[in-house]
A = this chain, B = another copy of it.
Amino acid sequence: MHRGRVLAIGEFSRMTHLSVRTLRRYHDAGLLEPATVDDATGYRYYGADQIPTAQVIHRLRELDVPLPDVRRILDSPDPGRRAALVADHLQRLEAELDRTRAAVASLHRLLVPEPAPLTVALRAVPATTVAAVEDDVAHDDVLAWYAGAMAELDAAVGDPAGAPGGLYDNALFEDGRGHVLVYLPAAAPPSTGRVRPVTLPPVELAVTTHVAEHDDIDVTYGELGSWVVANALAVAGPVRETYLVGPRDTPDPAAWRTEIGWPVFRVAPR
């Protein structure tokens, strides 16, 4: 193919359906370097052979691939590696779609409320020693982290003495990052890998049970919160969840039962 003319940015914009502004931004970002830049005037000139690249960028941006990621994809010479990066992003899109679906379902349940017969109990829980894995985790990573930690606990504890549970720092929800501890009760908690014996302090818990999958658990949290407030109590530490019936017990999400316990103490009424 013969070289042909060189294109000014406006012509290149017509060929690629990318706006002139956007082309300039892509230049600044190192995504799409013009074939030539006139030193004296700063004019950008593109080659017709850059059109396909511009179109790939256009498609990736339609998929909301961040500019730095687009750069990485374009910069990787190996087509296999490139395909892998794209696949990564598509997987992220898929995950986001799942979250959206969950939010839609949950929203519908929120807007068609049934008089939830929420039963809350106050329960004194003594100190307990369990096999635990703990770490500082970002809110977005909690699910993946939980899966890994619980798998490790299952492997380390042969014969659990009760249902698994977790302690979730309030900062996790308030700041998007916080301390998380998941545990499995055990007669003789081992100490292998990330698994350590931990003694959970004694607490007074306001306890209720969330029945159904986790999408709606915020609602139960809120109802528990309302109850705590209505009974002149205040929150005093990380929330405790106990997975009475979970994915390990039945594949039917509607049958799952999660006990939520919020450490509380009595406050003077205002």
Seen from chain A, the residues whose Cβ lies within 8 Å of a Cβ on chain B are: 1-7, 10-11, 13-17, 19-20, 48-49, 51-52, 54-56, 58-60, 62-63, 79, 82-83, 86, 90, 93, 97, 99-100, 103-104, 106-107, 110-111, 113, 170, 173-176, 218-219, 221-223, 225-226, 229-232, 234-235, 267, 269-270
Contacts and interface: CB of A to CB of B under 8 A. Distances in A.
Nearest to A62: B103
B14 A174 contact: yes
A56 B19 contact: no
11 contacts: A5-B270, A7-B229, A15-B225, A17-B174, A19-B175, A48-B229, A51-B226, A56-B107, A59-B110, A60-B107, A63-B100
A218 B55 contact: yes
B107 A5 contact: no
Given A15-B226, A52-B222, A55-B218, 20 more contacts: A4-B231, A5-B229, A11-B234, A14-B173, A14-B235, A15-B221, A15-B222, A15-B229, A17-B221, A19-B174, A20-B174, A48-B230, A51-B223, A52-B110, A54-B222, A55-B222, A59-B110, A63-B103, A83-B111, A86-B107
Given A6-B270, A174-B14, A55 B110 contact: yes
Contacts of A223: 51
A10 B174 contact: yes
Best-buried of A86, A229, A232 by chain B (most CB within 10 Å):
A229
Contacts of A99: 62
A79 B2 CA distance: 65
Given A17-B221, A86-B107, A107-B60, A229 B4 contact: yes
Given A62-B100, A63-B103, A176-B19, A225 B51 contact: yes
Contacts of A56: 107, 110-111
A265 B198 CA distance: 80
Contacts of A93: 100
A82 B113 CA distance: 14
Nearest to A3: B230
Contacts of A10: 174
A61 B106 CA distance: 13
A95 to B, nearest CB: 13
B111 A86 contact: yes
Contact of A17 (B106, B218, B231, B235): B218
